[in-house]
Amino acid sequence: MQATVNESAAAQNSASKIFGNSGKPTGVLMTDNVLSQDQRLALQSRFAEMQSGSDSRLYVLEAAMKYQQLSISPEDQQLLETRRFSVEEICRWFDVPPILVHHANVTTWGTGIEQIVDGFHKLTIRPMLVSIEQSVRKRVMTSKQRATMSAEISFDALLRGNAKDRAELYSKNVQNGIMTRNECRQLENLPPIDNADQLTAQTNLAPLDMLGKITNGGGNAATQNPIAN
């Protein structure tokens, strides 16, 4: 992991140097002439002025001098790809999807993100939460408390669906006697209302072995349905 962090820091420093120097590459001046010491010092000073800062003026090379680039371009270094890979590698060490640190592929959108977050909860966060819950039960709660109480960390806020999905879930829970209407309102931060604390269920459901035997009149279906005779 340390090597990954060092590579990421080196790539960041390299990018800072490149952009801090206006993207100017380093290089050498080549000439066929033999220069005196004073000429070399003058050229070095002039060339250093060209290579540093954000000066964008046009410079002229004299006496058939040629410029040869020595540094590798960011494209050849694959600097951008290296920085992207560093983020993904660090996320891999901590089992965190890159989308959660705002490092997203352009194709990752919509329900894909929801599935990624769900997988993050099941494979990374939930096992950690279970360990914490068990530790609280073992080390914090007394034996008397453990008999009547439990410790559970709610993850509902992160897994909260959109308005349509929540409405469908609440509707099914209310219709099947799983939740009351006020319990659903509480999850939506709405105040309770009167006569909404009873569990309700659909009345048109019947056991499979009773199909054809239960009718609206309460009698035998064979005696009330002409088709059955």
Enter the DSSP assignment of 35: P
- Return the pLDDT at 182: 94
Backbone angles phi, psi at 173, to 5 degrees: -65, -40
- Return the pLDDT at 115: 82
- Return the pLDDT at 224: 45
What value does the CA radius of gyration of the chain take, rounded to a whole number of Å?
36
In tens digits, what is the pLDDT along the chain, a chain of 229 residues? 777 777 777 777 776 776 666 566 677 778 887 878 888 888 788 777 766 655 556 666 677 778 777 666 666 667 777 778 888 888 888 889 888 888 876 566 666 777 888 888 888 989 999 999 999 999 999 999 999 998 888 877 767 777 888 899 999 999 888 999 999 999 888 999 998 999 988 777 667 677 666 555 545 544 444 444 4
- Return the pLDDT at 72: 67
Is 68 within 8 Å of 28 (Cβ atoms)? yes
- Return the pLDDT at 89: 87
Instruction: Name the amino acid, one letter, at 76.
Output: D
> Which pair of structure tokens corresponds to residue 34?
């033999």
- Return the pLDDT at 221: 45
Enter the DSSP assignment of 106: T
- Return the pLDDT at 44: 80
Q: Where are the domains of the chain?
A: 2-77, 108-160, 161-210
Residue 92's alpha-carbon distances to 4, 11, 79, 106, in angstroms, are 11, 18, 20, 19
